[in-house]
């Protein structure tokens, strides 16, 4: 009997070792050739909501630490309070201990028992607490994202004079460094295996001259069509030719709409890109980058953030904004309908003895812009809380975990001896967080519900690969969100910090939206504090542009950097910086009247403001 391809991690959750060997012997495709360290090397253990769960032994430390940046914008709340709304909990005298640690079995739950069997209120998961992790301790270095098109479509540095002025200003403010996207569609645009790093080399040298470090993103996704995308950078032309020949190599929704943002993980190990697999193409790209910048890795280039999905995040493109397909706060849609993912789903269904479960995705999951209670799948006691729902969500999220593990295994091998960290990004999907199903997270591939912590498996996978976890909505507050959307970015960040602490993985952060106000900065400072050993190792600010250097906005930013530098304490020299900026402004205006070009070294912030996006 020949079976379609099914992930080894999925089979590991279903069968004992001797059965798995027999299954793989008859599989039609080989087990991926990656680092043998498994995602879930520990035997499943019974779960109890009332007792602390054992923590697996720490994975061996590697010479190249890996980093995952989670985008989030919520303050760190006091420990001990559940992140779920209180009105959904019945009266109970049972208290939850701290730390609360998730079992390794939760990476892929047992499918023999339906989750609704555990849906009694007394056993509901409360994503709170968590053990101490290797947090930032005190200072949190601040990086700033460069414009998305800092390197243009033809590989040239755009607005080089303004970028240099901006870097000088950031250095004067105390920023640690900058982040830049190394676009697949730019660097490998000429053809498979033909790389152009000249523009990126110029940026690296510019950062070095200004005394700044660099975070470089391996951006294997398309730019354009999402929040904050100010330009269009498609996938490489030769990749687009392959998508025209075989449309199933990109993600597809239930209505057969194709999403060209990123290659579907369903064909990770298939030679669909001019004879190479996507994993091979990503590996070759990273290896070429390493070879070109070997002398800068570890001293100027201190972090490699590995893109693993749309917007560079480890997720499915479940909420695409292009062409108005999705609008906030819609639940999104599952993205598993290309032929490669459907083949994997059929194999998984056969493996659990329910062949009928593999014929399609959920029929009652609704549409992009619906609310959970408008669907059969996501409503309070919907299909998600059944044996079938548990099966589908375990498969869907498990495939995403395996995809991330494959790419990070390659990155770990390539950058192992460079002294540069490796990081990955997790999306801060905070809408419908207060509902039982967490619908928007489920469609994105995060199996996080009222009964299950979906971020511990992600954090553990990253820890096993030595990666830092980068999360993204650090500036957001619950009170700023529409009540109807059941948002809670603050509770989401709290849960993610607890997950990072439970497995001792490094946590870094970003803001999800452009913010320049004191309230947003204060929220980031509060979130970044090393509460109970769970702090941020770094924060990357979105993003450098002309508005950042305006007088009041710049003062807020300088004060923010100082507070992060001091571990959240208020900057003592804010008044001095404000006075300094006043004199800089006066000098620049005076030089403008005299018709002379201002001195970049003496007036970095104002030069950046007056030149950014105004020269080529």
430 has binding-site annotation: yes
CA distance readout (Å), 110 to 71, 294, 484: 30, 45, 34
The response to whether 517 counts as a known ligand-binding position is: no
Q: Is 582 annotated as a binding residue?
A: no
| Catalytic site residue from 387, 510, 565, 577 | 510
Query: Whose structure tokens read 């970003």?
Result: 510
**Annotated binding residue 295:** no
CB 64 within 8 A of CB 416: yes
Q: From the centroid of its chain, how far is CA 604? A: 32
The annotation status of 610 as a binding-site residue, yes or no, is: no
Do residues 378 and 41 touch, judged by C-beta distance below 8 A?
A: no
Does the annotation place 448 within a ligand binding site? no
> Which region, left, alpha or beta, applies to residue 311 given φ > 0 means left and ψ of -120 to 50 means alpha?
left
> Strand pairing partners for 452?
449
158 touches 529 (CB < 8 A): no
Q: What angle do CA 434, 438, 443 make, to 5 degrees?
A: 150
Residue with tokens 């830049």: 180
Other beta carbons less than 10 A from residue 552's beta carbon: 12
CA dihedral 218, 455, 371, 230 (to 10 degrees): -20
- Of 313, 399, 506, 565, the active-site residue reads 313
Of 184, 193, 278, 274, the C-alpha closest to 222 is 184
Q: Are the C-beta atoms of 330 and 324 separated by less than 8 Å?
A: no
403 is in an annotated binding site: no
Give the three-state DSSP class for 523.
helix
- Cβ-contact 166, 608 below 8 angstroms: yes
Question: Per residue in 407-446, is it b (16+ CB within 10 Å) or e — as a string?
Answer: bbbbbbbbbeebebbbbbbbbbbbbbbbbbbbbbbbbbbb
CB burial string 234-258: b at 16+ within 10 A, e below: bbbeebeebbeeeebbbbbbbeeeb
In the beta sheet, which residues pair with residue 561? none
DSSP 213: E
CA distance 146 to 163: 8
Closest CA to 398 of 25, 13, 103: 13
Q: Which helix (H) or strand (E) covers residue 421, if one does?
A: strand 421-426
518 a catalytic residue: no
Is 229 annotated in a binding site? The answer is: yes
CB within 8 Å of 354: residues ≥ 6 apart: 388, 391
* Residues 543, 150: Cα–Cα separation, whole Å: 12
339 annotated as a binding-site residue: no
Length of the chain: 616
Q: Is 552 a catalytic residue?
A: no
Please report, in range form, the residues annotated as the binding site for substrate.
Answer: 181, 221, 229, 425, 430, 472, 511-512, 543
Catalytic residues: 313, 510
């Amino acid at each position: 009997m020949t079976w379609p391809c099914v992930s080894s991690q999925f089979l590991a959750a279903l069968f004992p070792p001797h059965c798995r060997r027999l299954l793989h012997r008859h599989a039609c495709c080989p087990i991926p050739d990656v680092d043998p360290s498994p995602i879930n090397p520990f035997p499943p253990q019974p779960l109890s909501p009332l007792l602390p769960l054992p923590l697996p032994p720490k994975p061996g430390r590697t010479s190249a630490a890996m980093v995952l940046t989670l985008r989030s914008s919520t303050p760190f709340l006091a420990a001990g309070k559940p992140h779920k709304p209180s009105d959904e909990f019945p009266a109970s005298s049972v208290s939850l201990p701290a730390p609360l640690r998730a079992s390794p079995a939760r990476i892929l739950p047992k499918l023999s028992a339906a989750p609704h069997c555990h849906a009694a209120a007394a056993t509901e998961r409360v994503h709170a607490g968590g053990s101490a992790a290797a947090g930032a301790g005190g200072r949190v270095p601040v990086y700033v994202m460069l414009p998305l098109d800092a390197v243009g479509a033809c590989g040239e540095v755009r607005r080089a004079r303004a970028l240099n002025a901006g870097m000088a200003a950031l250095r004067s403010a105390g920023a640690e460094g900058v982040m830049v996207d190394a676009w697949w569609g730019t660097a490998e645009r000429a053809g498979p295996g033909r790389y152009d790093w000249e523009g990126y080399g110029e940026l690296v040298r510019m950062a070095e001259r200004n005394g700044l470090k660099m975070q470089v993103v391996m951006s294997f996704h398309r730019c354009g069509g999402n929040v904050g995308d100010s330009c269009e950078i498609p996938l490489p032309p030769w990749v687009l030719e392959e998508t025209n020949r075989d449309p199933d190599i990109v993600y597809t929704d239930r209505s057969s709409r194709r999403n060209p943002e990123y290659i579907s993980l369903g064909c990770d190990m298939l030679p669909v890109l001019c004879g190479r697999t996507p994993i091979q193409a990503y590996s070759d790209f990273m290896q070429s980058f390493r070879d070109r910048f070997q002398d800068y890795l570890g001293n100027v280039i201190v972090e490699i953030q590995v893109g693993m999905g749309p917007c560079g995040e480890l997720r499915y493109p479940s909420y695409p904004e292009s062409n108005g397909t999705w609008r906030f706060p819609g639940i999104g849609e599952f993205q598993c309908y290309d032929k490669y993912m459907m083949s994997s789903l059929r194999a998984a269904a056969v493996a659990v003895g329910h062949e009928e479960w593999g014929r399609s995705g959920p029929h009652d999951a609704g549409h992009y812009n619906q609310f959970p209670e408008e669907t059969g799948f996501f409503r309070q006691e919907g299909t998600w809380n059944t044996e079938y729902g548990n099966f589908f969500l375990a498969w869907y999220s498990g495939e995403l975990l395996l995809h991330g593990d494959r790419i990070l295994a390659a990155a770990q091998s390539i950058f192992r001896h460079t002294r540069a960290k490796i990081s990955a990004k997790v999306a801060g999907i905070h809408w419908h967080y207060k509902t039982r199903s967490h619908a928007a997270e489920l469609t994105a591939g995060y199996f996080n519900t009222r009964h299950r912590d979906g971020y511990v498996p992600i954090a553990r996978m990253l820890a096993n690969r030595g990666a830092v976890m980068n999360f993204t909505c650090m500036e957001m507050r619950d009170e700023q969100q529409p009540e109807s959307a059941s948002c809670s970015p603050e509770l989401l960040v709290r849960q993610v910090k607890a997950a990072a602490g439970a497995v001792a993985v490094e946590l870094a952060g970003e803001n999800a939206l452009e913010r320049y106000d004191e309230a947003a900065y204060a929220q980031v400072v509060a979130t970044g504090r090393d509460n109970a050993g769970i702090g941020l190792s770094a924060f990357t600010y979105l993003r450098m542009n002309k508005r950042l250097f305006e007088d009041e906005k710049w003062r807020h930013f300088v004060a923010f950097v100082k507070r992060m530098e001091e571990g959240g304490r208020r900057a003592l020299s804010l008044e001095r910086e404000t006075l300094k900026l006043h004199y800089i402004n006066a000098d620049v205006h005076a030089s403008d009247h005299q018709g002379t070009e201002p001195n970049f070294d003496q007036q970095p912030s104002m030069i950046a403001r007056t030149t950014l996006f105004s020269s080529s």
